[in-house]
Amino acid sequence: MSHAGAPAAAPIDGSGLRIVVIAGTWHETISNGLIAGAQRVLDAAGAEHSLVRVPGSFELAVAAQAAFAGGADAVVALGVIIRGGTPHFEYVSAAATDGLNRVSLDAGKPVGFGLLTLDDEQQGLDRAGLEGSQEDKGAEAADAAVRTALVVRELRG
């Protein structure tokens, strides 16, 4: 894993933003780590946030669509898909990614992308923001969602 090229993150003020964290329930340890990282960033930014759980990563997009319809300024989508021995991995990964992108563009609002597509469970543990993890993808997704929501707000005046 490389952090080369990652931007330096200055503190952000997300007060007044309403963010919905949507997380799949598969691979509970990894998912819970992602959620904790996202919530930590949102708390530090002062953004109002709530958590919604969906059965799996495929369902993230429709829940994100509903969150935007309900007035969310941004969504943080968190999920875990681990490659298996069938093409199912490719179908679910592509559908979830494409769905989240479509929902974001249709709403004109950001989706912080915290969907981990992994070859094995260890890769998820390394990215989940847990003790001993090398990365915190939940925190990164939340940070991106808040920063982009602020940019969108500014551009729209």
Beta strands in 6-73 (DSSP E): 18-24, 48-54
Task: Mark whether 88 is an active-site residue.
Answer: yes
Catalytic residue, candidates 3, 27, 49, 88: 88
Residues near 153 by Cβ (< 8 Å), separated by ≥ 6? 17, 73
Q: Provide the strand spans (E) within the chain.
A: 18-24, 48-54, 74-82, 111-118
| Residues annotated catalytic, as ranges | 88
